[in-house]
Structure 1
Amino acid sequence: MSQKNETVVLLLSLLVTVALVATGLWWFTNRGGINLGGLTGSDNSGSTTSAGRTSNQPVEARISLGDKLLFSSGETPEKQAAVEAIASSNYEAAVSNLEAALKSDRNDPEALIYLNNARIGNRKSYAIAASIPIGTAQNPSKEVLRGVAQAQNEVNQAGGIGGVPLKVIIANDDNDPNVAQQVAEALVENQQVLGVVGNFDSDVTLAAGKVYEKGQLVQISPTSTSVQLSNAGEYIFRTVPSDRFAGNALSRYMLTQLKKQKAAVFFNSKSNYSQSLKNEFSTTLLGDGGEVVAEFDFSSPNFDVASSVQEAIGQGAEVLMLAPNTAALDQALQVVQVNEKRLPVLAGDSGYSFKTLEVGRSNAVGMVLAVPWHILGNPEAEFPKAANQLWGAEINWRTAMAYDATKALIAGIEQNPTRTGVQQALSASNFSATGAANPIRFLPSGDRNQVVQLVTIQPVNNKDPGYEFIPVRE
């Protein structure tokens, strides 16, 4: 055989080998033999959770009335037995197992919601849904779900809404706009659903809101603060104050309490929430005589923490204002560490996290954040007492705002248990419902009519990690 023919044969053999390897790799990847992408979250549901990748998990696997577990954390034999019982309509067994599960972990909102649903069984009920980012943020999702669960538990223990109990559907939207829209479409198609608590991030709420508006199903976000949500639609509401309130509060605190004029702002240009808070803070600061001397984008490929902080100081900044979204929180905390308390630090509600206390530690002491609610803001209110008794632990603003969103839906259903009836009730100028601290009222824009609470980080004794968020007393 000539050298030329040998070369041709070798090339053909190589091509066949590559094709076989590629075919095998495709088969394993698509049949579940291997997962090349891996999972960035703690959920082993098979969905990818990193930004920019769309999950291939079917929508029906993301939605549960109790027939499937959506949280990977806290899974117990009792909970597994309960969901299997619910799936087979054996509600008596489900109730028994869920009561046992809650005895071992009373802080589990998924178990409490499924328990209330199981107690209802096949009886007539009203239904709402909670769309939360379980696949990407399990702890914040549980914080939101505790507010929903507490409101459901209270109304059902009191006899229901006009004698009719309330069921709650839980949906995992992964905090992904595309997934959230698919979930929204499924919830719109389910005519039993009279309202939705969600979504989490502003970008996701805006995307899903288009579906809810078109489908004429009320959506109330407990956590999305972007000003773009104002007037997003007749069916779009929120119980959390918009960034306009937070930006104004932080700007005026800087000018009147810190007596500082010049700020450097750190934000994420890929986040609607982050952009919104930055713009509201900057606009108010400028209008009141202050100045933003520098802006730094967390999402920039050239962003460097140390050089950015040094540049901010070099340009005359007297205050650092941090407006990260959840995805950029780690970078914001690096700014806190590098700053080493040289300049006062302000931040939005995404910084209200145990991670901020744990990572920031002494460098974060004195940092001031604008949040919708704090448990010590009104210590005499009934909600935090009831929450502590129910969950056996302190709760935060996400739980309070989700509680308010659920209470608003309950009040709307009580007036008129139809989708259009709920929307009309919430939109009425005289609508009011009892909330975690303040009455729940909505502006014509769908915004919550409520001020924000400023909190600061201070050292505390006998409490992990040794630091705590404390209300600012002006």
Structure 2
Amino acid sequence: MKKIFAAAAAAAAMMLSTTGAFAEEPYKLGVILPLTGPTADYGADFRRGAALAEEQINAAGGIGGHPLELVYADSKNQAKDGVAEFRRLTAVDGIPAIISTMTGVVLPQFPLSRETDTPMMCVGAVSPEIRTGGPTVFSNYPLADDEEKEIAEFAFNKLGFKKAAIIYENSSYGKGLSSVFISRFKELGGEILAEEVIEKGGRDFRSQLTRLGATKPPLIVTYAYYAEAGLLVRQASEVGIKAQFLSHGSVQNSAFADIAGASANGFISGSPSLNPTSPAVQKFNSEYEAKYGKKPDLYGPYFYDAVRLYASAMERGGYTKEGILKALKETKDFAGVTGSISFVDSNIAKLPLTFMQFSDGVWKPIEK
């Protein structure tokens, strides 16, 4: 309990330090994250990226003299909590714009976004259904119908795998991403040897892995968050499976390697990634490490950019739903640390993928 009060006091002190010097009222932005529950490590990564952007925006004078204030809400990575927190932030707190994440959370929030004309930025959720969210829904992260197709093409054409097995989480996230991969892999002439399903929060996947192993797959594609993916890799080794593992960006979290242990070596992940030669990226990495004492995980920079995108939209369009929405839609060639972002042709940003392989404790890029 003392730790909780200490954390709350520290958060309050930070808020005073970042907004207390301003004469104008704050411009508030709602950020719905999994702050507790089995995917809380993701939420911590997301929050670090968002908080760094908030701090820097306010240090530079805020938005037209107004401090930016991020108001956090906990989805617990549960649809009902995500919907309830969306309602609270918009209807009760009067916040005009939202950032949200996790596929199973954002999809049921879309009707609320449309009905209330509230701009909503999805960050890190990749379901192609996000394209159907409506005119108020945006994403600064590529979706699975682009991402998973490219991953399938990389597996077939670059890595040379013509057969694969697939294991995925029993959720809209797992089903949606795996179906895109399977469809494209088959179109290319590939064969899916077996499919297995796991439950989110599960801890023993040996029976599913044993069935997959019986087909002797040279490649196993997995769609699961870092906790389950780490266990899958470790337990695959325990049951004697020797196959290449491949996934998208969900495994690029420091906790994945901690869970998987030595079995993490060789895992390949395809995701948008920062350009290490970019001065903006080098500056971000330096500032992030100086603040948090660690390197950023995959998704933190996208939350950093999402906050900055909204700040830019508020600067250009004003602090209203209508103004923010119009300015977001007019965003073209926004210089994010994750790349150049535009929404003029689509509410979904398109960014190239980088393929990374885990080796010697770090993710290293693979040439396409």
On whether the aligned pair clears a TM of 0.5, the verdict is yes
Measured in 2, the distance between the counterparts of 1:322 and 1:161 equals 42
CA shift for structure 1 position 138:
3.3
SS of the aligned residue for 1:289 comes to: coil
Who is 1:237 aligned against? 138
> Are the counterparts in 2 of residues 407 and 433 from structure 1 also a CA contact under 8 Å?
no
Query: Which residue of the partner structure matches residue 44 of structure 2?
Result: 142
CA deviation map 1:19-61 (0-9, x unaligned): xxxxxxxxxxxxxxxxxxxxxxxxx8xxxxxxxxxxxxxxxxx
Unaligned runs of 5+ in 2: none
Aligned residues: 364
**TM superposition shift of 1:388:** 2.1
Distance 2:43 2:205 in 1: 29
Which of these residues, 152, 160, 163, is aligned with residue 62 of structure 2? 160
Scaled by the length of structure 2, what TM-score is found? Answer: 0.88
Between the aligned partners of 2:278 and 2:242, the Cα distance in structure 1 is: 32
Superposition deviation, residue 125 in structure 1 = 2.4
Residues 150-159 or 332-341, more deviating? 332-341
8 Å CA contact 1:130, 1:170 repeated in 2: yes
- In structure 1, the partner of 2:223 is 323
2:81 to 170, 175, 179: 179
Q: Using the alignment, how far apart are the partners of 2:241 and 2:215 within structure 1?
A: 17
- The residue that corresponds to 1:347 in the other structure is 247
Structure 1 residue 310, shift from structure 2 partner: 4.3
Aligned partners of 2:29 and 2:95 also within 8 Å: yes
Aligned to 1:471: 365
Query: Does 2:293 match 1:388?
Result: no
Letter in 2 for 1:148: A
Aligned partner (choices 269, 272, 281) of residue 369 of structure 1: 269
Alignment-derived partner of residue 16 in structure 1: none
Contact 1:442 1:449 in 2 (8 A): no
Identity %: 18
8 Å CA contact 1:324–1:332 kept in 2: the answer is no
Q: What code does the residue aligned with 1:178 have? A: K
* Residue pairs, 1:211-290, within 5 angstroms: 211-269=112-170, 271-290=171-190
Letter of the 1:264 partner, please give it. Answer: A
For residue 278 of structure 1, report the CA deviation from its aligned partner: 0.3
Q: In structure 2, the residue corresponding to 1:396 is in which secondary structure? A: coil
Rate the CA distance shift 1:319–1:378 in 2: closer, same or farther, 3 A: farther
CA contact (8 A) 1:254 1:260 kept: yes
- How big is the shift at 1:410? 1.0
Relative contact order, CA 8 A, sep 6+: which one is greater?
2
Rounded to whole Å, the distance in 2 between the matches of 1:212 and 1:145 is 22
**Partners of 1:266 and 1:163 in 2: how far apart?**
51
When residues 229 and 388 of structure 1 are mapped into structure 2, their CA distance, relative to the original with a 3 A threshold, is: same
AA matched with 2:248 = G
- CA–CA distance in structure 2, aligned partners of residues 426 and 414 of structure 1: 11
Note the alpha carbon deviations across 1:398-443, whole angstroms, 9 max, x for none: 1111011111111111111111111122223x53322113122237
Other structure's SS at 2:125 match: coil
Q: 1:118 to 1:339 in 2, by over 3 A?
A: farther
Following superposition of structure 1 onto structure 2, how do residues 62-101 of structure 1 map, counting pairs within 5 Å?
Answer: 75=4, 77=6, 79-81=7-9, 98=13
Aligned residue for 1:312, secondary structure, equals helix
Q: Residues 310 and 422 from structure 1, CA distance in 2 versus in 1: closer, same or farther, beyond 3 angstroms?
A: same
Answer with 1 or 2: which has the greater Rg: 1
1:49-101 Cα shifts (integer Å, max 9, x gaps): xxxxxxxxxxxxxxxxxxxxxxx9x6464x55567xxxxxxxxxx6xxx3xxx
Q: Do 1:407 and 1:434's aligned partners in 2 also have CA atoms closer than 8 Å? A: no
Residues 308/179 of structure 1: CA separation in 2 closer, same or farther (3 Å cut): closer
Tell me the secondary structure at the aligned position of residue 197 of structure 1: strand
3-state SS of paired residue (1:371): strand
- Mapped to 2, the partners of 1:81 and 1:365 lie a distance apart of 40
For residues 425 and 126 of structure 1, do their structure 2 counterparts lie closer, same or farther at Cα, with a shift above 3 Å needed?
A: same
Q: Given the alignment, which residue of 303, 313, 318 partners 1:402?
A: 303
Q: CA deviation at 1:263?
A: 0.5
TM-score, normalized by length of structure 1? 0.70
Unpaired stretches in structure 1, ≥5 consecutive residues: 1-43, 45-71, 84-93, 99-111, 460-466
Within-5 A mapping of 1:423-462: 423-428=325-330, 431-442=332-343, 444-459=345-360
Give runs of aligned pairs for residues 292-331 of structure 1, distance below 5 A. Answer: 292-299=192-199, 305-315=205-215, 317-325=217-225, 328-329=228-229, 331=231
